[in-house]
């Protein structure tokens, strides 16, 4: 007789929490790919900078098939990076806010440790609980 079992979702491997503490090196703001901006984030960032949506779009964003992304400086760093400082830090987009707790980075312990070669804050410093990680992913 064949016994069919329902495959349970395995517990996330990071159930016991993860260590992460940003050391403010700014690497994730330099040449690390595109940063998506939702329409709501367009409003938030424009308000934060005190500019109109038109100015924000013209000077800071690029329009793609699927929405807006932040422009880069010529050296491939994010347009919002000035020196070592993000000029929209309190209003930065979810993609930045939730890093490094992204689904693809949290896929496995190996992918988490692999990301550590790009982010020196991974696997060091403060311990984030499972709940905090999930909240951070959504905020």
| Segment near ligand SF4 (CB under 6 A); pick from 23-31, 48-56, 61-69, 101-109 | 23-31
The alpha carbon of residue 71 and the mean position of all alpha carbons in its chain are separated, in whole angstroms, by 16
The answer to the question of residue 81 lying near ligand SF4 (CB under 6 A) is yes
The answer to the question of residue 60 lying near ligand SF4 (CB under 6 A) is no
**Residues in CB range of 13: below 8 A, 6 or more apart:** 108, 109
The answer to the question of residue 105 lying near ligand SF4 (CB under 6 A) is no
| Segment near ligand SF4 (CB under 6 A); pick from 25-33, 61-69, 102-110, 125-133 | 25-33
| Segment near ligand SF4 (CB under 6 A); pick from 49-57, 58-66, 86-94, 128-136 | 86-94
Q: How far apart are CA 81 and CA 63, in angstroms?
A: 19
The answer to the question of residue 78 lying near ligand SF4 (CB under 6 A) is yes
Give the H/E segment covering residue 123. strand 122-128
Compute how many residues bind ligand SF4; rule: CB under 6 A: 21
The tokens describing 111, both together, are: 């992918």
Give the H/E segment covering residue 7. none
Q: How far apart are CA 50 and CA 61, in angstroms?
A: 15
What is the binding site for ligand SF4 (CB under 6 A)? 22-29, 35, 70, 78, 80-81, 86, 88, 92, 96, 99, 119-121
């Amino acid at each position: 007789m064949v016994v069919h079992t329902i495959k349970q979702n395995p517990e996330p491997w990071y159930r016991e929490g993860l260590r992460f503490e940003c050391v403010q090196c700014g690497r994730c703001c330099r040449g690390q790919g595109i940063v998506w901006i939702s329409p709501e984030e367009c409003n938030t960032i424009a308000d934060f900078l005190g500019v109109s949506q038109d100015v924000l779009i013209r000077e800071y964003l690029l329009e793609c098939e699927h929405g807006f992304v932040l422009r880069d400086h010529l050296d491939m760093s994010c347009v919002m990076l000035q020196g070592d400082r993000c000029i929209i830090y309190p209003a930065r987009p979810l993609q930045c806010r939730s890093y490094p707790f992204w689904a693809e980075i949290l896929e496995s312990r190996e992918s988490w440790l692999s990301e550590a070669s790009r982010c020196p804050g991974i696997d060091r410093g403060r311990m984030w609980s499972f709940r905090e990680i999930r909240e951070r992913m959504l905020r």
